[in-house]
Chain A
Amino acid sequence: MKENPRDALLRVDMEAGRLIKDGFLGEDHRPLSDIISQDLDTLAGLQVSHVELGRAMRRLTRKGMAAIGETVDAGDYLVKTEEYMGWLGCPFKDARRAAKRNTLVRDKATNKEMRWSDLTIHLIEEHAFFQGKGSAFRLEPEALAAFLGLPGALVPQDE
């Protein structure tokens, strides 16, 4: 599908070395709308929404923020959050900005780990953008949903 002009402009700033060192797209050359719609199709098949995923991720990050730099017990998971000075603007240019904060989460039962930044959470929750294939911060929707126990796990609406 041909990329619309606005997405084409957004795509330029999502490339490596523009806003962040390795960019948001990896080796993915598909139009942004295709990247997003394909991931949304995957989620539809799983009966999970990107908003639910974002909320569940944020809930874990908040647990980690109780003790920055230390591993925090968060029920089924162990969470470690690291913070750095400053913030990153959203590449969708929605005036939202995210703290430079990375969260490492380990599933106690499986020992599987996932890592995300606050910007990753925002991109998933608000824009259904899991990043391009090959991007260092891409989270596969199916794997993320399974990791977070969705559908099924309770995600409070107020978070």
Chain B
Amino acid sequence: MDFLIVARTVISLALVSGALAVIVSVADKVLNNYGECKLDINDGQKQLTVEGGSSLLSTLAGQKIFIPSACGGKATCGLCKVQVLSGTGAGQVLPTEEPYLTEKEKADSYRLSCQIKVKSDMRLRIPEELFNIREFICELVEIEDMTYDIKRLRLKLPKGDEINFKAGQFVQLYTKPYGKVKEEVFRAYSISSKASEKDHLELLIRLVPDGICTTWVHTALKEGEQVRVSGPYGDFFLRGDCEELIMVAGGSGLAPIRSLVYDVIEKGLPHKMRFFFGANTVKDLYYLEEFTRIEKDHPQFSFIPCVAKPEPEANWQGESGFVTVALENQVDTGEAKEAYLCGSPGMLNACIKILKSKGFKDNTIFYDEF
């Protein structure tokens, strides 16, 4: 008897829940049906007709306008700012946007594009360079272990397509659902291949413990798979208003430096280059032969690999100690030099401190913060 009462109750509740779900779903479609909305970008430079109801970030991505974002629209990075001059997003900023916007940005009508929905016609202002960012569905033609925790990915663009990027720039790599990750996420990775080779991209990806994207790359991604990327992004590229380039990288931070080194050489630029590459142990080093060969073939380039704690059995003959020590000892002044850095936050901070003590200025030190 008791069982029947419980069963009836459970079934009744299930039916009520199901009915409510249907009502909510229908109501959502009816009440949140914003219909077609017109987006006017940069005073008529682009005029788009879109379906309302989604975030501005995803709506623009659907129109192949890719606003940089590091968190995928979850309001934890604050990078996806655009100016909303009129329309639904032009009102008061949301509490989720508040911490990311300065008073000036608020006054200038900046909003986080991931946080506002397209509900009506809107006038927007978006930096023009973002219109060059494209989406590519690539084939993963090679995946290679460079070290025990760094993989090289070679992504072939669709036949006849090409990517135009500046050496040092990055792309966003989109994952597919795997394990507990039920939706696509994306993360930024510097391009390590030559800017002159436009039919493919190479990325160097270090496994981050519990990393959402790097775990996918290291455990789930297989050669032959289709991989989605967008890009190029970023302002980490050669300025070259100097005589010498001081380059410092650690781990997978080697990626953009490799592209920069080849760019300088291929363009026949006169800059001297010194590349300090830091690793914890000898087994963390890679591309040693390649950079040693470049050094031999091109006197303008010097390669200084530094190993913090070389294993005794490795018989390491190069620089021992932190890369910052070599930088401190071997770079005398910032005069006529620019510095290009890529690595972990601690390494970046330490390098910047040393470089500034030697006379480098904010506008002669370049690095990416992702």
Contact = CB atoms under 8 A, between A and B. Distances in A.
B294 interface: no
A155 to B, nearest CB: 22
Interface in A76-111: 83-91, 93-95, 97, 99-102
Contacts of B177: 17
A136 B215 CA distance: 16
Interface in B206-224: 206, 208-212, 215
Interface in B300-336: 308-309, 322
A70 B187 CA distance: 28
A16 interface: yes
Interface stretch (A18-26, A32-40, A45-53, A142-150): A18-26
A84 B99 contact: no
Given A22-B210, A100-B208, A102-B209, A16 B344 contact: no
A17 B181 contact: yes
B181 A19 contact: no
Contacts of B289: none
A89 B343 contact: no
A68 interface: yes
Nearest to A96: B99
A90 B369 CA distance: 16
A87 B346 contact: no
A94 B99 contact: yes
B100 A95 contact: yes
A157 to B, nearest CB: 23
B345 interface: yes
Contacts of B131: none
Contacts of A99: 344-346
Contact of B74 (A13, A23, A136): A13
B76 interface: yes
Interface string A117-148: 00000000000000000001000000000000
Interface of B: 70-71, 74-78, 95-96, 99-100, 177, 179-183, 185, 187-188, 206, 208-212, 215, 251-253, 280, 308-309, 322, 342-347, 369-370
Given A19-B71, A100-B211, 16 more contacts: A6-B95, A17-B177, A21-B212, A22-B180, A68-B308, A83-B344, A84-B208, A86-B188, A93-B74, A95-B78, A97-B76, A97-B77, A99-B345, A101-B344, A101-B345, A101-B346
24 contacts: A13-B74, A17-B177, A18-B74, A18-B185, A19-B212, A20-B212, A21-B180, A21-B212, A68-B344, A70-B308, A84-B206, A85-B206, A85-B252, A85-B343, A85-B370, A86-B188, A87-B370, A89-B70, A89-B76, A90-B76, A93-B74, A99-B345, A101-B344, A136-B210
**Leading 5 A-B pairs by shortest Cβ distance:** A89-B76, A95-B99, A17-B181, A83-B344, A16-B180
Interface of A: 6, 9, 13, 16-23, 65, 67-70, 83-91, 93-95, 97, 99-102, 136
